C-alpha cells in the first residue's frame, strides 16, 4: 500500500469501476478516475484526489453503476442515535445513465454532479454495480431506481425505473448501530440487502430482494427472484451485510459477558 496524496484528514471514501470519491473532514468532495465519471466535466483522467464542488460540504458518497453523493443541508434532532438524528441533504448523481440509474427521468450520461429532484432530506445513497441505485431518507423510507429486470429495485415490478420510487410503505429502513446515521448496506450484482429496524448497537432484521438463485439465503427450496423486500430468517441481530456477483456475506452481532 502507498499513501494517496499528502492530506491526512479523510473522513469517507468509496471506490467503483473507473473512479473513486473522497470526503475530507471539512466536508469537501474530491474525486479520482476516468473523465466520464470523475465529475469534473472535462476530458482529463485524474490519478490523485482532486477537489470537486468547491467548498460545498458532503456527508455521503457512493460509487458503482453510477456516482452519487449527498450534499449536506443539516442534521436531524435525534442526536445521532437513529434516522432522525442523521445528517441529511440533497441528492446528486452523475456518470453513466443507462437504465435510468441516475434518477433524472432519462438515460442521459452526465459528466458533472446533477441534483436528483428537489428533496433535501436524503441521508444515504448506494450505487449498485449493476445499474440500480438506492437511497434512504431522513424519515426512514427507502427508495430505488434503475435496472429492474429481476426485481432488484424492490417495488414489486420488473419495470426499469428512471426516477426514485419508494420501496414498500414502511419508514423503518434506517439503521445506525451506534454510528450516528441511517445507512444503506452494500448492494450485490442485481440484488440488494438492507438491515431493518434500528435496534441500538445490537442490530436488526435482514431483508433481501432481487435476483435469487441462492443469493437470498432462504434455503434450497426458495431460490426464486424477490420483487419486494423479503425477510431472511428470523434473527434480529444482523449488523452488516455485503454482496458480490453470486454470493452474499453477513455479520451478526457478537455477544459476550463477564469481567474484562
* Through-space distance between the first and last CA atoms of the chain, rounded to whole angstroms: 35
Regarding predicted confidence, which is higher, 180 or 55?
A: 55
- What mean pLDDT is reported for the chain? 85
CATH code that applies to domain 10-252: 2.130.10.30
Q: Are 57 and 24 in contact (CB under 8 A)?
A: no
Residue ranges of domains in the chain: 10-252
Q: Are 96 and 79 in contact (CB under 8 A)?
A: no
Q: Are 172 and 140 in contact (CB under 8 A)?
A: yes
Regarding predicted confidence, which is higher, 195 or 110?
A: 110
Number of Cβ atoms within 10 Å of the Cβ of 28: 18
Q: For residue 147, is pLDDT > 50?
A: yes
Report which of 248, 131, 134, 241 is spatially closest to residue 190, judged by C-alpha positions: 131
Looking at residue 178, what is its pLDDT? 40
* Cell numbers representing residue 96 in the block: 453513466
DSSP 67-109: EEEEEEEEE-SSTTSSGGGSEEEEEEEEE--GGGTTSSSS---
Report for 100-109, 136-145, 191-200: range of highest mean pLDDT: 100-109
The length of the chain in residues reads: 260
Q: For residue 83, is pLDDT > 60?
A: no
The whole-model pTM stands at 0.88
Q: How far is CA 259 from CA 169, 189, 202, 254, in A?
A: 44, 43, 20, 16
Amino acid at each position: 500500500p502507498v499513501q494517496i496524496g499528502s492530506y491526512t484528514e479523510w473522513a469517507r471514501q468509496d471506490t467503483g469501476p473507473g473512479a473513486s470519491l473522497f470526503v475530507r473532514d471539512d466536508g469537501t468532495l474530491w474525486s479520482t478516475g476516468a473523465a466520464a465519471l470523475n465529475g469534473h466535466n472535462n476530458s482529463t483522467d485524474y490519478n490523485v484526489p482532486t477537489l470537486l464542488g468547491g467548498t460545498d460540504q458532503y456527508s455521503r458518497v457512493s460509487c458503482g453503476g453510477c456516482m452519487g453523493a449527498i450534499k449536506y443541508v443539516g442534521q436531524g434532532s435525534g442526536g445521532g442515535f437513529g434516522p432522525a438524528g442523521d445528517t441529511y441533504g440533497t441528492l446528486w448523481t452523475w456518470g453513466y445513465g443507462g437504465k435510468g440509474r441516475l434518477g433524472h427521468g432519462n438515460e442521459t450520461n452526465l459528466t458533472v454532479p446533477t441534483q436528483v429532484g428537489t428533496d433535501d432530506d436524503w441521508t444515504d445513497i448506494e450505487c449498485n454495480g449493476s445499474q440500480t441505485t438506492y437511497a434512504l431518507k431522513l424519515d426512514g423510507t427507502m427508495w430505488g431506481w434503475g435496472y429492474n429486470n429481476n426485481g432488484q429495485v424492490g417495488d414489486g415490478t420488473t419495470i426499469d425505473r428512471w426516477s426514485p420510487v419508494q420501496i414498500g410503505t414502511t419508514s423503518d429502513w434506517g439503521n445506525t448501530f451506534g454510528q450516528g446515521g441511517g445507512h444503506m448496506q452494500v448492494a450485490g450484482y442485481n440484488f440488494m440487502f438492507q438491515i431493518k429496524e434500528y435496534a441500538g448497537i445490537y442490530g436488526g432484521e435482514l431483508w433481501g430482494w432481487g435476483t435469487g438463485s441462492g443469493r437470498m439465503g432462504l434455503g434450497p427450496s426458495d431460490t426464486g427472484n424477490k420483487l419486494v423486500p423479503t425477510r431472511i430468517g428470523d434473527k434480529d441481530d444482523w449488523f452488516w451485510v455485503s454482496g458480490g456477483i453470486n454470493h452474499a456475506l453477513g455479520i451478526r452481532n457478537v455477544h459476550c459477558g463477564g469481567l474484562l
